């Protein structure tokens, strides 16, 4: 390896923070997109994208439909759908800037993601409850890649044994910043629940993209 290659490898590895705990494995890069790239993508999304409406804004919990406390839309390859919480979301065609983002992430890990779910949190009242992305159509060995834009929000991971009140395990908390990328690696999603809790102090819009590989 030449000195230049060593320096580049080192630069690359210092951009990434590894977070590990029992059966949890995350890779976080705070500035995956630089400020102008992140802001341009946010502006594009805010000015061009329409979020889903009607029945598709509801999820089924214990047999009852509830409105989701945020906005959603999905993009992906032709014909790909994603089924969760009693809802089937069909991918709309990739907008060019989202396709560019997908390519940038895909080249980071050599994974050809075929679907992205976009969540829009209007302010700190919008949130996402504790859940695992454990749907059977997801290839669980392939990490979910999560890009955040706009308002920084706290991402909280809770071990399944804590949810079941079996034992104490410390929660893991991460601030997800504008332009950041988080990889949730196997087996995190099998053992840990994640959420974006309400945050009073958060007043601005946040967008989150979770790139997935649907079988």
Ligand X SMILES: O=C(O)CCC(=O)C(=O)O
Q: Which residues bind ligand X (CB under 6 A)?
A: 117, 119, 128, 133, 146, 148, 155, 176, 194, 196, 208, 210
Nearer residue to ligand X within complex by CB, 9 or 131:
131
Residue 6's SS3 state is: helix
Find the DSSP H helices in the chain: 3-15, 35-48, 96-109, 160-163, 188-191
Residue whose C-alpha is closest to residue 34's, from 109, 101, 99: 101
Residue whose C-alpha is closest to residue 143's, from 24, 10, 47, 36: 24
Give the nearest distance from C-beta 147 to ligand X in angstroms. 9
Give the nearest distance from C-beta 132 to ligand X in angstroms. 9
Give the nearest distance from C-beta 78 to ligand X in angstroms. 22
Nearer residue to ligand X within complex by CB, 6 or 173:
173
Distance of CA 144 to the CA centre of its chain: 7
Nearer residue to ligand X within complex by CB, 146 or 188:
146
Give the nearest distance from C-beta 209 to ligand X in angstroms. 9
Give the nearest distance from C-beta 190 to ligand X in angstroms. 15
| Cβ atoms of 75 and 95 closer than 8 Å | yes
- Beta-ladder partners of 128: 196
Nearer residue to ligand X within complex by CB, 42 or 128:
128
Nearer residue to ligand X within complex by CB, 114 or 148:
148
- Residue of this chain nearest to ligand X (CB atom): 208
Give the nearest distance from C-beta 23 to ligand X in angstroms. 18
| Cβ atoms of 82 and 117 closer than 8 Å | yes
CB count in 10 Å sphere of residue 71? 19
- For the purposes of burial, counting CB atoms within 10 Å of the CB of 33, is it exposed (0-12), middle (13-18) or buried (19 or more)? buried
Nearer residue to ligand X within complex by CB, 94 or 180:
180
Dist CA 137 CA 102 (whole Å): 19
């Amino acid at each position: 390896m030449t000195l230049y290659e060593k320096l580049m490898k080192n630069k690359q590895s210092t951009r990434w923070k590894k977070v590990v705990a029992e059966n949890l494995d995350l890779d976080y890069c705070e500035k995956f997109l630089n400020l102008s790239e992140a802001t341009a993508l946010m502006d594009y999304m805010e000015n061009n994208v329409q979020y889903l409406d009607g029945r598709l804004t509801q999820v089924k919990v214990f047999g009852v439909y509830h409105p989701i406390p945020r906005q959603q839309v999905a993009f992906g390859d032709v014909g790909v759908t994603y089924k969760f919480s009693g809802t089937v979301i069909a991918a709309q065609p990739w907008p060019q800037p989202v396709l560019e983002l997908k390519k940038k992430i895909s080249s980071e890990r050599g994974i050809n993601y075929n679907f992205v779910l976009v969540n829009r949190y209007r302010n700190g009242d919008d949130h996402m409850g504790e859940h695992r992305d454990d749907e059977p159509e997801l290839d669980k060995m392939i990490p979910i890649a999560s890009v955040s834009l706009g308002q920084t929000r706290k991402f909280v991971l809770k071990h399944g044994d804590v949810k079941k009140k079996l034992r104490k395990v410390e929660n893991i908390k991460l601030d997800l910043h504008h332009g950041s990328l988080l990889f949730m690696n196997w087996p995190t999603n099998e053992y840990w629940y994640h959420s974006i809790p309400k945050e009073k102090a958060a007043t601005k819009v946040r967008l989150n993209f979770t790139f997935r590989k649907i079988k």
